[in-house]
Amino acid sequence: MSETIVAPGIAPQLRAETKLHRWFESWVEQAPEAVAVRFEGGPFDHEQLSYQELNRRANQLAHYLQQLGVGPEVLVGLCLEPSVQMIVALLAILKAGGAYVPLDPSYPQERLKFMLEDARVPLLLTQQHLKHLPICEAQAAGRAQVVCLDSDWQAIAQQSNQNLTFNEANETTANLAYVIYTSGSTGKPKGVLVQHQGLSNLIQAQAKTFQVQPGDRVLQFASLSFDASIFEVAMALTAGAALYLAPKHTLLPGPDLAQRLRTWEITHVTLPPAVLSRLSAAELPALKTVIVAGEACSEAIAERWSIGRRLFNAYGPTEATVWSTVAVVPNGGKPPLGQAIAKVKVYVLDEQLQPVPVGMPGELCIAGTSLARGYLNRPDLTAERFVPHPFSQEPGDRLYRTGDLACYQPDGSLQFLGRLDQQVKLRGYRIETGELESLLLQNLGEQAGQGAGQRSAVREAAVLLREDQPGQPQLVAYLSLHLDPLSQNQDQSQAQLQQWQQLYEQVYEQAQASPLTPATESEHNFIGWNSSSGEAIPLPQMQQWLEDRVERLRQHKLERVLELGCGTGLLLFELAPQSREYWGTDFSQQSLEYVQQRLGLRGLKQVKLLNRLAHEFEGIEAGRFDAVILNSVVQHFPSQEYLLEVLSGAVAATAEGGVVFVGDVRSLPLLEAFQSWVQLEQAPASMSREQLQQRVEREVFEEAELLVDPDLFSWLGEQWERVERVEVQLERGWHHNELSQFRYDVLLHIGSRRNSSVEIEWQQWTEAGPSPLAVRQQLTEGQLTQLVIRGVANARVAAAVRTADWLAAKKGPRTVGQMRETLQKLRQSGVEPEVWWELGEELGYQVQVSWTADRVDGSYDVLFVSQALDPVCISAPARSEQKRYTNNPLQGKLSREVVRQLQQRLAEQVPKYMLPSSWLVLATLPLTANGKIDRRALPAPERSELPEKGAARVPESELEAVLVQLWAEVLGQGQVGIHDNFFALGGHSLLATQLISRLRDVLQVEIPLQALFEAPSAAALAEHIETVGWATNGLSPMSFSLAEREEVEF
């Protein structure tokens, strides 16, 4: 015997199995003139239909569809924008016995194409202005029919407007009602087959729970592609209420949505917590019932919205027909999932599908009438998620495994705890992060940053939903990439050199602005010599640095000199007066003009200046020069290959007995220690060790300068015939700065190889010695001619190395402030390198202080050789083959380009709500002990500190909006706030020049590079631009949205 249901306001009794459209028809009889649906697109764009008129139109279309072959189990595509026509079409498909497949026209066409091909719909309903969409054209070109409800309505209107005859034999609640596609872990969405029986059960539960009455007004907020939309349609049209619709852009969470709710006097809404958080409950007096769904509801939301109205917390997956449990949310406390609706049972089970005790977590599983049939064309996945019911004796009964983690409370209610798998919900949308990962690893990676036929640019991918800041959940994409330096092309290297060129043109333009007088022309110009903090290195330290390398060079013949990268002439003006011929080259025309102006005052006619890149040796004959100098230029080279090309040219241009001097080379083995020290100095004291480590890892990965392992030069000494010996020396001096701590000089001695080897006595240094005092004693008392001490701890970098060790080992002080305090208390370890040079000068020995091979702690070796002997060098272990001796300076730039392409490609395949808002590229993703990606160890996206608590992160003006988007574009970030520091987010000098160039293109203004250093956030620079009064001749049109519509799915 069938159960009967009497809904509020309905006179006739209906069977429990009654389908949605039959419930609707009962209201047509009960209140034919009542408003059924109203659409408002604008002041002159609105339409309203009564129950009777809506039913007539739906009947006409239903008859028309039946003539086209629509009947039970026939799928009909529905590609319509929010409108009255959309509701007419939905009802008509159900009346004709078919099942609708919603296709949101705003979705990426590639995703819609897959859904259509997967569903194989024989018929597509759309509107004339959407007929140009590729999916509509493709359907028309194929065997499927395309019907435009507006342009074809004249033919449709010829059909009968009477209700269709009920055929009990063919029309049962076991038939399909709709197919909705949800995110899938394979990289493709999956279609959920929902039957009428589940929809009928939902209608009954709504009637009992929400008590919607005639005269009530229900908002249609969700897109038709989400099952929450049928929840809203059913709530209104099966209870005699009115359904209100509007275009997406008019329902943006915040003032737009609030205005609609007030104007329409909406009484019932279903919204996710994120949307409710942007509305004022007090300003919506007509709103008497709020259903919060889509994601976990916070206590704050519950407290605000439960006063003066009924607030329900609803839960349910698409696979269980939208809705499974409900709770009336009390004022206070964490909202529970509540209890199951009628004819639905929920279980909390362990991995063996056995019940867990009350209070213990387990997987939430659902059984009952509401279960979907399964997944379209996915029998494997259907069998995996819809399993035989372990507690039922009825044949065919099933249990759906949701993948949600929950527990039963002592009062019998359910508490949601999270996800078991990678399926997450964000602002009401259900997202399979596995789908995004699959897309990134497969078809997207193959097309981003790589040529045809090459391997994917993406090596590893992980996507997480994070809520590192309360109330601000976001999707974060983590990538490790294949960025082989050998695959870099000449254009990429050339672009890198041009960026450095642009940077120095701006820097040297300031030098040009200095007045030229006899009193000033002799001063050393150290412009551009700044530390990583952006501050200039103290002048006394720079002068000492210059004196030391001039002295080092003057130990060699300098009659004919070629300097590659002469800059402002720091070495040129010191060495040229003693030279017979001095050639200086530089890629900056500004620097050469600066030098040229000062040559006349000094009478240096033997100097020849050439504007060219370092690798350009045209017109330079082999063996012409006694010395070729590359001082502090190697770091601007784009690759190891380019460095070797330049060094090869330099060696060829050097005469027998001459030297190639490579000065101020940044040390690759010390890169992590260097960044650990720099970031420790710059970070706020409250920053955690984990956050500091993340920042260090990012800066190491993004390093835009070329750093070189000293072993490269030892390898050259073994492989290149013209290199007689190699001398690697640390910088001299007592000062501790980035030049003395993390850089070194190299001398390649050019000449015939010596076949004889010299045995040198050496000692291994330990903390116990030998000390400088003990070495003095050995040299004086033993009258040794040679002595080597290996592995001396370097006092200059001890603190930096200690910091790097703490971060790598994940131990030690917990915060930046504690690290600084600990370092101050530690006694100084190691020996200052300058001690050995001064000892050698005192005792009459040549001294070479060089890095210890295969060490990353800054240890060094010391060689003492009697002045009476020929110079010798400390030899590094033999290298049988070439390896990578440098970092990849293009790595950060290439990764940003890959991310940009991935973002663009992903936007073509998935809806906006599935797009990650933050992207992190890591050298490698952390792994667990069994080799899987360790998702818990993935770092949180770093955000710069706001100037004050609660400060706005979103743009407040058009100029700020443009600047924020340019920040994100250049940095490769998904989201950037107006107060985010450009340099704290990974910006550096080269990226700064890119940003200045983009600002010039977009704003038509020439902003000095210095302005960005002074105002490194979008808000600060916008204020700076407006204060200085630079003209912005109209902002270029850019795609920028301050807010996006958020929709809800249970």
> Could you say which of 864, 889, 914 is where a domain stops?
889
Kindly write down the DSSP assignment for every residue of 824-857, as one continuous string: HHSPP-SB-HHHHHHHHHHHTEEEEEEEPTT-SS
Q: How confident is the model at residue 954 (pLDDT cuts 50, 70, 90)?
A: low
Measured in whole angstroms, how far is the alpha carbon of residue 6 from the centre of its chain? 53
Q: Which residues contact 347 (CB under 8 A, 6 or more apart)?
A: 355, 364, 365, 366, 367, 391, 399
DSSP-assigned beta bridge partners for residue 1016:
none
Question: What's residue 469's pLDDT?
Answer: 76
Q: Is residue 623 part of a domain?
A: yes
Cα–Cα distance between 1008 and 1013 in angstroms, integer?
9
pLDDT score for 298:
76
| Distances in whole angstroms, Cα of residue 687 to Cα of each of 694, 808, 938, 944 | 11, 16, 17, 11
**Burial class (CB within 10 angstroms; exposed 0-12, middle 13-18, buried 19+) of 319:** buried
Do residues 775 and 630 share a domain? no
Answer yes or no: do 697 and 570 share one domain.
no
Residue 314 has pLDDT above 80, yes or no: yes
pLDDT band for position 943 (50/70/90)?
Answer: low
Q: What is the mean pLDDT of the chain?
A: 85
Average pLDDT over residues 43-59: 92
Q: List, in sequence order, the alpha helices (H) in 174-265.
A: 196-210, 228-237, 255-264
pLDDT at 149 over 70: yes
pLDDT at 515: 54
Could you tell me if 358 and 406 are in contact, meaning their C-beta atoms sit under 8 angstroms apart? no
End residue of a domain, out of 833, 856, 889: 889
Task: Count Cα atoms within 13 angstroms, Cβ side, for 787.
Answer: 23
Place of tokens 């000199």: 561
Whole-angstrom distance, CA of residue 531 vs CA of residue 548: 19
The percent helix, strand, coil of the chain (3-state, each to 5) is 35, 20, 40
What average pLDDT score do residues 544-566 get?
94
- Are 716 and 588 part of one and the same domain? no
Average pLDDT over residues 981-1010: 76
Taking the CA atoms of residue 111, residue 112, residue 116 and residue 119 in that order, the dihedral angle to the nearest 10 degrees is 60
Q: Does the structure show a pLDDT above 60 at 582?
A: yes
Instruction: Give the integer Cα–Cα distance in Å for 292 and 869.
Output: 87
Whether residue 648 is found in the same domain as residue 686? no
Flag whether 698 is in a domain.
yes
565 to 138, 578, 594, 614, 630: CA distances (angstroms): 60, 19, 13, 7, 7
Both tokens of 213, joined, read 């009455």
Residue 88 pLDDT > 90, yes or no?
yes
Of residues 611, 660, 612, 614, the one with CA closest to residue 635: 614
Same domain, 605 and 728: no
366 beta partners: 346, 400
Task: Express as a percent the part of the chain with pLDDT over 90.
Answer: 51
**CB of 102 within 8 A of CB of 75?**
no
Range of the domain at 542: 492-666
Task: Please give the structure tokens belonging to residue 779.
Answer: 């040299």
Q: Same structural domain for residues 639 and 724?
A: no
Q: What pLDDT is attached to residue 53?
A: 98
Co-location of 694 and 761 in the same domain: yes
Q: What digits encode the pLDDT tens for the residues 825-873? A: 887 789 999 999 999 999 999 999 999 988 889 999 999 988 877 766 6
Is residue 775's pLDDT more than 60?
yes
Looking at the structure, tell me whether residues 613 and 686 fall in a common domain: no
Asked whether residue 1036 is assigned to any structural domain, the reply reads no
pLDDT in tens, 682-718: 889 999 998 899 889 988 998 989 999 999 999 999 8
* Helix, strand, or coil (residue 42): strand
pLDDT value of position 185: 67
Q: Which of 248, 253, 289, 292 is nearest to 271 (CA)?
A: 292
**Mean per-residue pLDDT, 731-736:** 92
Tens of pLDDT, residues 12-34: 456 667 899 999 999 999 999 99
Q: Work out the widest C-alpha separation in the chain, in whole angstroms.
A: 119
Q: Which residues contact 661 (CB under 8 A, 6 or more apart)?
A: 552, 553, 627, 628, 629, 630, 631, 745, 746, 747
Residues 720 and 806 in one domain: yes
Is 565 inside any structural domain? Answer: yes
Residue 318 lies in a domain: no
pLDDT of amino acid 600: 80
- The whole-number pLDDT of residue 1046 equals 32
Other C-beta atoms closer than 10 Å to the C-beta of 963 total 27
Give me the sheet containing 581-586, strands edge to edge.
Answer: 607-611, 581-586, 560-564, 625-631, 654-666, 743-750, 723-730
Supply the pLDDT for residue 947: 39
Whether the predicted pLDDT of 1032 surpasses 50 = no
Most confident by average pLDDT, 176-180, 516-520, 541-545, 957-961: 176-180
**Structural element, H or E, at residue 1002:** helix 989-1003
Which of 629, 646, 666 is the C-terminal boundary of a domain? 666
Distance, CA of 81 to CA of 101 (rounded, Å)? 14
Mean pLDDT of 454-480: 83
Q: Same structural domain for residues 586 and 642?
A: yes
pLDDT of 69 > 70? The answer is yes
Q: How far apart are CA 118 and CA 120, in angstroms?
A: 6
Q: What is the pLDDT of residue 300?
A: 74
Q: Does residue 314 contact residue 400 with C-beta atoms inside 8 Å?
A: no
Classify strands 414-419 and 268-271 as parallel, antiparallel or unpaired: unpaired
Closest CA to 875 of 685, 993, 749, 713: 713
Are the beta carbons of 143 and 946 closer than 8 angstroms?
no
Most confident of 468-472, 648-652, 861-865: 648-652
625 lies in the same domain as 737: no
* Residue 919 forms part of a structural domain: no
Task: Tell me if 899 sits within 8 A of 455, measured CB to CB.
Answer: no
State the total domains in the chain.
Answer: 2
Tracing tokens 């701590």 back to the chain, one arrives at: 741
What six digits make up the tokens of 448? 């981003």
Closest by alpha carbon to 92, among 108, 120, 68?
68
End-to-end CA distance of the chain: 32
Whether 314 and 340 have beta carbons less than 8 Å apart is answered as no
pLDDT score for 60: 98
Strand-pair category, 723-730 with 743-750: antiparallel
- pLDDT, one tens digit per residue, over 801-823 is 999 999 988 778 999 999 999 99
Residue 1046: closest CA among 431, 467, 272 = 272
The CATH number given to whatever domain includes residue 633 is 3.40.50.150
453 is a domain residue: no
Residue 894: name the closest of 488, 498, 500 by CA: 488
Average pLDDT on 513-538 reads 64
82 within some domain: no
Same domain, 814 and 869: yes
Give exposure, 978-1007, as e/b (b: 16+ Cβ within 10 Å): bbbbbbbbbbbbbbbbbbbebbeebbeeeb
Contact present, 888 and 641 (Cβ < 8 Å): no
